[in-house]
Amino acid sequence: MLMYYFMLILGVLMVIGAAFFFIAIYVDKEYPLSIVGKSLGSFLLGVLLLWITLPSLKYVVLKEYDVVSGKCVIEIDSSSRTSEADFKMLDTDDIFTFRDIPELDAYGKSIPYFCEVTVTKDHMFEISYKIYDSKTRKLILTSE
């Protein structure tokens, strides 16, 4: 969720900042190419971030979440400072990514788990996860 709010706030700030630069350029009647280019780039990147995040805003504010559950395979990439896990749901072919997941005893394509992943209704942003043993349904790990 932190990434969602970061993207939303950054998009708003970039669009507002670019608008202020366009107003300042218009008032000064100077149109240097570097400032116009940076302002236009900032505006377009801000609009892109808002285009990605605004459709899910209703679901985040109203806390309308969907729970996707079923057998899953977890692949953990710990090559960077923080580890990142991809939850590949075998039943629905959905892939969800979480950061800062602790190490599991065994993971990879050969180790199936039973997972419950909470996402926004449009399946764009991940909220939380629960990992269960596939045979006993005993809770192994949760993000909450």
pLDDT tens for residues 42-56? 999 999 999 999 988
* Residue 128, helix vs strand vs coil: strand
Q: Name the pTM for this structure.
A: 0.74
Q: Where are the domains of the chain?
A: 2-61, 65-142
3 state SS of 51: helix
Residue 19, pLDDT score: 92
pLDDT for residue 8 is more than 90: yes
Q: What is the dihedral of CA 94, 65, 143, 50, to 10 degrees?
A: 80
**Res 9 pLDDT > 90:** yes
3-state secondary structure of 126: strand
The candidate with the shortest Cα–Cα distance to 8, out of 47, 43, 40, is 47
- Please tell me the predicted confidence (pLDDT) of residue 43: 96
